[in-house]
């Protein structure tokens, strides 16, 4: 598989087999599910006369080398550093070959599917055939069933499927098949019915936490251990900078409906903490019917967006326009894939396109839904994009996660810096859920549960720190251990990238976690996260007309994004290119000691104290918090 997903310490509830295990010659097993996901039962065989939309995700050319290509333009010692690709370059490099398209098409025709029924996607990433269940079963030597969840939802799929040996090398996967909905298939207990497109719904995924209202406003540095305001962050990270290249620079913040900011809250914040934002608003780009809804209000609907924009916009100053990517309508919602479709048209059909069991499908024919076409490649990506939402890695199938991870690599190739919050539950997943040995997730599980997309090696994962109680901004911070715990650990899906190997090996050699190998991925070969961190405690945020204290890595990501946006400003002002994918650079020897090392605190979860913050990289705070003057000096010295 593309990113060498690891043989993890756990048995995932979906075990995917890609080896040529023989079945009926000349067919071989392509994918197989080892156990049925929690909450589902096989109800009946599917009606053989029913029609299903079979989608064959075609193997992309050169996709196995995407990490190498990205490293070549992102490592500061590379002669190609900063030579970012165009969207056309990417399409040409990774489009499936004519041989692949021909192999699958010829197989379908020889199997009795007429040529006019075979649809090749616009970007040649997939082939679709509307087939009867009987035809699909014959094509793939399988049986299609109807599965029913305890919540009443039905799903069509199979236990395993086979492909001819000469076709297998040309197909990544087929849907519908062994894949189930995200979240719906992994959790037991509580509300487990949200697919990936519900990421914006209250209580789903990573979301900030409130510690109550603020009655006394503090605008000075004396109480930054109790109240974080913009002046505290500027002092902590040395962010004293006035942008000068605002016309050519860009910073984007992604929100998922029904999460929405209130302009009145932004102005309330501006009048108290950021006077240059008075009268200003973000530049909103509507994706798939997204809008700043006001029908539903309260912390659960406005807290995330208010936080992201008030601090993201303040730290880049009123001179720099901030783009708000408001994604999804009020009915269907949206997933990360829907946003990625909008900024990269090739992704709409890459490897079969979106998964209708996970992602929102537009036009939305539900009452009140957005009836316009799916937003596909019509939105320009900003140079830096911050997202404060996230899933548990185990919520998603490896194929779904890999497909999305490849897109982040493509954005990196185009010079985009992608930041994601690492999670707020330490080594546990969202909601405090941990893994069980069979791959399910429960509140009483004991196996560490990493987040996604933070575990994708092509994004920058951001953890959370805090000012120590009673300390000042001149003293080192510690890992956040009030209200939330910084998400961190080791992936069960993705291998350790080369750029990170030295830092993670040092941690595992000198500070090896004292836990049994059965509860964490102790192979020493998996992607470690987060990469960096920033303050995530005691933020003063205007929400629904009052100030509240807010905690979370939801704070850390937009703050980090603002800092990197200001570094881009300085480079652009000198005629240089944006910093793009930053991980190979920040882990390089030349960037040693440009982050403020965090050496105190842990990230508890799953019945354990979690990992320890230590000298150097650690799976609590990453490399540490940004030191803007040092980072600026280093990046201005690069070509």
When mean pLDDT is compared over 122-131, 357-366, 436-445, the highest value belongs to: 436-445
Which has the higher per-residue pLDDT, 355 or 285? Answer: 285
Query: pLDDT tens for residues 46-93?
Result: 999 999 999 898 988 999 999 999 999 999 999 999 999 998 899 889
What the block records as the tokens of 328 is: 């999804």
Q: Is the pLDDT of residue 186 over 50?
A: no
Per-residue model confidence (pLDDT) at position 16: 37
Annotated active-site residue in 225, 255, 304, 364 = 304
**Is the peptide bond prior to 176 cis by the omega test (within 30 degrees of 0)?**
yes
> pLDDT category, 170, cuts 50, 70, 90?
very high
| 3-state secondary structure at position 384 | strand
Band of the pLDDT at 3, cuts 50, 70, 90? Answer: very low
pLDDT score for 25? 42
What pLDDT score does 510 carry?
Answer: 98
C-alpha 526/C-alpha 517 separation (Å) is: 13
More confident residue, 328 or 319: 319
Kindly indicate the confidence band of residue 616, based on its pLDDT and cuts at 50, 70 and 90: very high
CA atoms in the 13 A half-sphere facing the CB of 362: 29
Q: Which of 37-41, 556-560, 587-591 has the lowest mean pLDDT?
A: 37-41
Spatial separation of the C-alpha atoms in residues 628 and 630, rounded to whole Å: 6
Q: Which of 306, 308, 477, 569 is catalytic?
A: 308
Q: Among 29-33, 102-106, 274-278, which is the least confidently predicted range?
A: 29-33
Looking at the chain, the whole-number percentage of residues with pLDDT higher than 90 is: 71
Q: Is 222 exposed, middle or buried (0-12, 13-18, 19+ CB in 10 A)?
A: exposed
Torsion of CA 261, 312, 573, 458, to 10 degrees: -100
What is the mean pLDDT of the segment spanning 367-373?
66
For the chain, how are helix, strand and coil distributed in percent, rounded to 5? 25, 25, 50
Give the active site residue among 554, 556, 557, 560.
554
pLDDT value at position 630? 98
Q: What angle do CA 43, 44, 49 make, to 5 degrees?
A: 140
Say whether 554 is catalytic.
yes
Ordered alpha helix ranges (H), 414-533:
501-510
Task: Tell me whether residue 4 is one of the annotated catalytic residues.
Answer: no
Of 5-19, 102-116, 216-230, 623-637, least confident by mean pLDDT is 5-19
Residue of higher predicted confidence among 339 and 367: 339
Q: Which is nearest to 456 in space by CA: 420, 483, 508, 415? A: 420
What number is the average pLDDT over the span 418-426? 97
Per-residue pLDDT, averaged over 285-302, amounts to 92
Say what percent of the chain tops pLDDT 70. Answer: 86
Task: Compute the chain's Rg from CA coordinates.
Answer: 24
Residue whose C-alpha is closest to residue 638's, from 590, 569, 583: 590
Q: Is 347 left (phi over 0), alpha (psi -120 to 50) or beta?
A: alpha
The answer to whether 13 and 37 are in contact (CB under 8 A) is yes
Work out the average pLDDT over 317-340.
Answer: 89
List of residues 6+ apart from 478 with CB closer than 8 A:
465, 466, 468, 598, 600, 601, 613
Q: Write down the pTM of the prediction.
A: 0.85
| Residue 109 Cα distances to 102, 173, 371, 532, 575, angstroms | 10, 19, 35, 52, 54
Query: Over 70: is that where the pLDDT of 393 sits?
Result: yes
Question: What is the predicted pLDDT for the residue at 371?
Answer: 60
Which of the four pLDDT bands, split at 50, 70 and 90, describes residue 228?
A: very high
* pLDDT of the residue at 450: 97
Q: Give the least confident one: 23-32, 172-181, 578-587, 591-600.
A: 23-32
Known catalytic residue at 210 = no
Residue 266: half-sphere exposure toward Cβ, Cα within 13 Å: 23
CB atoms within 10 A of CB 3: 24
Instruction: To the nearest 10°, report the CA torsion of 506, 387, 466, 614.
Output: 0
264 — pLDDT class (breaks 50, 70, 90):
very high
Structure confidence at residue 361 as a pLDDT band (50, 70, 90) = low
The pLDDT assigned to 87 comes to: 87
456-512: pLDDT as tens digits? 999 999 999 999 999 999 999 999 999 999 999 999 999 999 999 999 999 999 999
Which of 308, 256, 328 has the alpha carbon at shortest distance from 536? 308
Residue 376: which pLDDT band, with cuts at 50, 70 and 90?
confident
**2 confidence band (pLDDT: 50, 70, 90):** very low
Instruction: Find out whether 427 and 608 touch, Cβ atoms under 8 Å.
Output: yes
């Amino acid at each position: 598989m593309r990113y060498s997903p690891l043989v993890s310490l756990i048995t995932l509830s979906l075990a995917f087999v890609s080896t040529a295990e023989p079945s009926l010659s000349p067919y071989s097993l392509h994918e197989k599910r080892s156990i049925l996901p929690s909450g589902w039962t096989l109800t009946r065989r599917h009606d053989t006369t029913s029609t299903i939309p079979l989608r064959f995700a075609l193997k992309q050319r050169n996709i196995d080398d995407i990490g190498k290509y990205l490293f070549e333009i992102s490592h500061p010692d590379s002669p190609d550093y900063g030579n970012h690709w165009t969207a056309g370059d990417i399409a040409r490099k990774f489009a499936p070959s004519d041989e692949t398209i021909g192999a699958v098409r010829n197989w379908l025709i020889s199997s009795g599917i007429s040529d006019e029924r075979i649809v090749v996607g616009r970007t040649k990433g997939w082939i679709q055939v509307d087939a009867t269940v009987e035809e699909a079963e014959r094509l793939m030597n399988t049986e299609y069933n109807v599965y029913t969840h305890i919540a009443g939802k039905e799903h069509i799929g199979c236990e395993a499927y086979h492909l001819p040996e000469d076709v297998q090398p040309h197909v990544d996967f087929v849907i519908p098949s062994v894949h189930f909905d995200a979240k719906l298939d992994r959790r037991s207990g509580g509300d487990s019915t949200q697919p990936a497109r519900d990421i914006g719904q209250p209580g789903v995924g990573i979301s900030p936490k409130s510690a109550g209202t603020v009655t006394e406003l503090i605008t000075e540095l004396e109480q930054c251990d109790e109240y974080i305001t913009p002046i505290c962050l500027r002092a902590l990270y040395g962010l004293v900078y006035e942008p000068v290249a605002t016309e050519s620079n860009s910073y984007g913040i992604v929100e998922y409906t029904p999460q929405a900011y209130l302009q009145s809250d932004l102005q309330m914040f501006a009048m108290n903490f950021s006077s240059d934002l008075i009268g200003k608003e973000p530049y909103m780009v509507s994706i798939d019917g997204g809008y700043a809804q006001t029908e539903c209000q309260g912390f659960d609907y406005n807290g995330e967006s208010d936080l992201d924009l008030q601090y993201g916009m303040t730290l880049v100053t009123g001179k720099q326009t901030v783009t708000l990517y408001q994604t999804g309508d009020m009915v269907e919602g949206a997933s990360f894939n829907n946003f990625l479709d909008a900024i990269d048209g090739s992704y709409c059909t890459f490897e079969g396109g979106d998964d209708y069991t996970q992602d929102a499908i537009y036009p939305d024919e539900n009452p009140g839904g957005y009836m316009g076409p799916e937003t596909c490649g019509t939105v320009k990506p900003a140079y830096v994009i911050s997202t404060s939402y996230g899933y548990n890695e185990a919520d998603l199938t490896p194929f779904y996660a890999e497909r999305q991870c490849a897109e982040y690599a493509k954005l990196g190739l185009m010079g985009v810096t992608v930041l994601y919050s690492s999670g707020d539950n330490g080594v546990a997943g969202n909601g405090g859920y941990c893994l069980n040995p069979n791959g399910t997730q429960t509140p009483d599980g004991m196996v560490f549960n990493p987040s996604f997309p933070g575990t994708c090696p092509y994004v920058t994962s951001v953890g959370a720190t805090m000012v120590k109680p009673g300390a000042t901004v001149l003293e080192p911070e510690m890992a956040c251990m009030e209200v939330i715990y910084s998400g961190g650990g080791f992936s069960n899906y993705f291998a350790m990238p080369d750029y990170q190997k030295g830092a993670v090996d040092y941690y595992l050699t000198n500070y090896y976690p004292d836990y049994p190998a059965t509860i964490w991925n102790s192979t020493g070969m998996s992607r470690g996260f987060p990469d960096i961190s920033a303050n995530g405690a005691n933020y003063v945020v205007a929400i629904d007309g009052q100030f509240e204290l807010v905690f979370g890595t939801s704070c850390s990501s937009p703050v980090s994004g603002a800092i990197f946006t200001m570094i881009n400003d300085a480079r652009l002002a000198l005629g240089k290119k944006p910093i793009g994918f930053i991980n190979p650079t920040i882990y390089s020897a030349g960037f040693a000691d440009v982050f403020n090392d965090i050496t105190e605190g842990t990230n508890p979860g799953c019945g354990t104290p979690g990992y320890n913050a230590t000298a150097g990289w650690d799976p609590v705070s990453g490399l540490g918090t940004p030191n803007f003057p040092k980072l600026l000096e280093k990046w201005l010295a690069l070509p």
